[in-house]
Chains A and B, each alone.
Chain A
Amino acid sequence: MATTTLTPAASAYRSGLYEWLTTTDHKKIGILYLVNSFIFFFIGGIFALTVRTELAAPGLQILHDELLYNQLFTMHGTVMIFLFIIPVLVGFGNFVVPLQIGAPDMAFPRINALSFWMLPLAGILLLSGFLTGGVAQAGWTSYSPLAQDRPLASTGPGEDLWIMALLLIGTSSILGGINFLVTIFKMRAPGMTMFRMPILVWTVLVTSVLVVMATPVLTSALIMLFIDRNYGGHFFDAGTGPGSAILWQNVFWFYSHPAVYIMVLPAMGMISEILPVFSRKPLFGYKAFVFATAGIGALGFSVWAHHMFTTGQVFLPFFSLMTFLIAVPTGVKMFNWIFTLFRGKLTFSTPLLFALGFLSMFLIGGINGAFSAAVPVDFALQDTYWVVAHLHYVLFGGSVFGVMAGLYYWFPKMTGRMLNEGLGKIQFVLMFAGFNLTFFPMHQLGLAGMPRRIADYAANAGWNDLNLAATVGGFMIAASMLPLLANIFISRRAGKPAGDDPWEANTLEWATSSPPPPYNFDHLPEIRSERPLFDLRHGREAGH
């Protein structure tokens, strides 16, 4: 970028709080996203722990009202998906993408701030149902007729608050997606061609396309559900006309399956930044990775009905085939990552440990997902704990491990201080062990026939030991958050100073100071490959 020679005007005094509340700086907004997401991560985690505690043994021990149990797992799913995983990845994207492409900020900084501030508002709306007689209880999927306003279903305003919250989050996502696309298309530094963009930028690009094209369909679905519940509409209400409960599943999953890729592609991008740095090698097969990402994005729109195999209302061979097909680009990425590591000079710092956690856990999540893509197998496994195991291996074992890897990797850039390696390794070991103890037994529980979303089970069903193990694992995951929190609070002030480029990394964000100045760069190095900093360190000839 050409050096901007404007001198800053003497700025009026702003208190730190006022600055954070009104900022349009992508880095500050990114950090706001991360903080907000982690607050909701802990809230959603408390819901999960309550659910797991109830399931530790047969009988109703702590929740004497099954409807409250329904509310808790509904909120757990909704909070974790819509207020944690999606926004936390947007937070990393916000902080890192403009830096990685050498831009001074996002294309629309004020819209960026708007996108963020909708999220805490949506979270408050969603959870305020607890004060108005109960939050939504129809599951995060809100299937009709469970979501209809009638006895034994979702009476009261909780479900409507859920709808309003999701509308806000959806709008926030769409505006954010547009912002990312314009930023990536229009604000790249001179020399940063599309095929020199860091992989994270590519994954955010494809994710943003999914967000912009899929989220509005969820918006339309939510509006139809709202009309059904409040104005006597007949979209999904098969009880009073030819409305179709299956229609809800179609429009809902048309968003919510691509949303799975929205929740994992940026994490894949983060892993793809981290693995090369800690292997001291370039990413194996850059272009293959890019095309695989685009392939996942495109195929992601044609697999939504694999959530609906057992309805008998969808064309099974097509959706089964497409689901198997989408495993191909995902497999390509697995090879990219493994061959990046192969014969690399590995340093097992915390970011790499979490990245390896992502690799191994996401692999299991992919394999048990492929099982469910087979129609006859799916008929047996539908709505059992197998599905719970699968989705947590993808979203927790995949995305959350990726988020942790990214946090340890970019925290030095955000604060100028390193996170403590010892605490990081303790967190990794606890989280990895706790995660597998929680979710691996769910495979067996599912095969043994335990259904999802039940508050209680018979003592002689043979599910007691595995459930107890899963609950113990859940508390281990919770315990693994303590070293993380301690690490963040201690290292933020007292951590080892990071310097500009503590990892000897490849991408542009490490070319500026830590934390970067508000305008990001005083000057940029020449960009001649997807690893401009590698080229800078090793001279022109070493570039590839």
Chain B
Amino acid sequence: MTASSTLVTTGDPGHPVAEHNPVAAFPHDTRGGISNPILGMLLFICSEVMFFSGLFAAYFSVRAASIPWPPITKDAALNEHFNLHAEPWYAAGLTLILILSSVTCQLGVWAIRRDDRTGFIRAFGVTLVLGILFLLGQIYDYSTIGFGVSDTPFGTTFYTLTGFHGAHVFGGAVMLSVILYRGLAGQFSSRHYDAVEGVSLYWHFVDVVWIALFSTLYIL
């Protein structure tokens, strides 16, 4: 920070309120409107939606160009592995873990809104553990799935989509860790929890992407 930016402590001229407030609907709000960090996170999520749209568009384009889908190769074992529809249960388990983590994440947000710091830290702790569990599960899945990124466009799209989703889960887990650390240091309260709210929005987004991925890759 420069000397200059310490002069002005609030982002909103005319309203020198030190606290940031998430959204207008909540009772603690004093000046209306969505807070800067939350708006920034929502816009960031918009850009992430477009990023995954690009990947999904490529997936459907490649899939439409390849009949049959999954492609049939000379390697019978590979063809067997490509048939994700036959055994979606493992991935369904991962889906369940991620959905659960979204629920606990939201419970944490509600807890901090009530000033229940213990509940908030407990819920975010569980969320982080579930997120890590998902990542480990995905790594195990990769190690046993039987095809690689260069095995036909099927392998390429599968690893690109799930891999970039996994990278986003990893990023989310890092954010959750930061929030937990700051939470343990007592930095959040019902009057100050924009960062918690922002990370929860991101985590829900990552969850929704996985649901779309699971539906596309394993069911559709």
Contacts and interface: CB of A to CB of B under 8 A. Distances in A.
Interface residues of B, number: 46
B6 interface: yes
A235 B55 CA distance: 10
B185 interface: no
A213 interface: yes
Interface in A1-60: 1-2, 4, 6, 8-9, 11, 14, 19, 22-25
A63 interface: no
Contact of A241 (B4, B9, B58, B153): B153
A243 interface: yes
B9 A217 contact: no
Interface in B166-184: none
Contact of B50 (A23, A108, A216, A250): A216
A109 B5 CA distance: 8
Contacts, number: 169
A189 B47 contact: no
Contacts of B160: 223-224, 227, 233, 235
Interface in B18-62: 33-34, 36, 39-40, 43-44, 46-55, 57-58, 61-62
Given A24-B1, A25-B2, A216 B48 contact: yes
Contact of B7 (A4, A103, A221): A4
Contacts of B52: 220
A247 interface: yes
A4 B16 contact: yes
A506 interface: no
B54 A235 contact: no
Given A24-B5, A190-B14, A251-B58, A220 B51 contact: yes
Interface string A217-237: 111110110011001111100
Contact of B54 (A6, A19, A22, A216): A216
Contact of A234 (B7, B57, B153): B153
A4 B149 contact: no
B14 A2 contact: yes
Interface in A149-188: 174, 177-179, 181-182, 185-187
B106 to A, nearest CB: 24
B150 interface: yes
The binding surface of chain B is classed by DSSP as: helix
A439 interface: no
Contacts of B118: none
A8 to B, nearest CB: 6
A235 B58 contact: yes
Contacts of A24: 1-2, 4-5
B8 A519 contact: yes
A254 interface: yes
Contacts of A11: 3
B65 to A, nearest CB: 4
A242 B51 contact: no
B168 to A, nearest CB: 12
A166 to B, nearest CB: 14
A162 B61 CA distance: 25
A189 B13 contact: yes
B88 interface: no
Nearest to A25: B4
Nearest to A104: B8
B215 interface: no
Q: Chain B CB within 10 Å — which of A104, A187, A214 has the most?
A: A104
Given A2-B16, A4-B16, A108 B40 contact: yes
A518 interface: yes
Given A231-B149, A233-B149, A233-B150, A107 B54 contact: no
B71 interface: yes
Q: Chain A CB within 10 Å — which of B16, B48, B54, B152 has the most?
A: B54
Contacts of B90: none
A215 interface: yes
A231 B150 contact: yes
Contacts of B150: 231-234
A243 B3 CA distance: 54
A210 to B, nearest CB: 11
Interface string B136-157: 0000000000000110110011
Contact of A518 (B3, B53, B153): B3
A212 interface: yes
Given A6-B9, A22-B2, A518-B3, 13 more contacts: A25-B2, A107-B40, A108-B40, A178-B43, A182-B36, A182-B39, A189-B14, A214-B50, A223-B55, A234-B150, A235-B58, A235-B153, A242-B71
The 3 tightest CB contacts between A and B, nearest first, are A518-B4, A232-B150, A220-B54
25 contacts: A4-B8, A8-B7, A11-B3, A14-B2, A25-B2, A25-B4, A104-B8, A178-B40, A178-B44, A181-B39, A182-B40, A182-B43, A187-B13, A212-B46, A216-B47, A217-B51, A235-B153, A235-B160, A241-B66, A241-B71, A242-B65, A244-B62, A247-B58, A247-B61, A518-B7
Interface of A: 1-2, 4, 6, 8-9, 11, 14, 19, 22-25, 102-105, 107-110, 174, 177-179, 181-182, 185-187, 189-190, 212-221, 223-224, 227-228, 231-235, 241-244, 247, 250-251, 254, 518-519
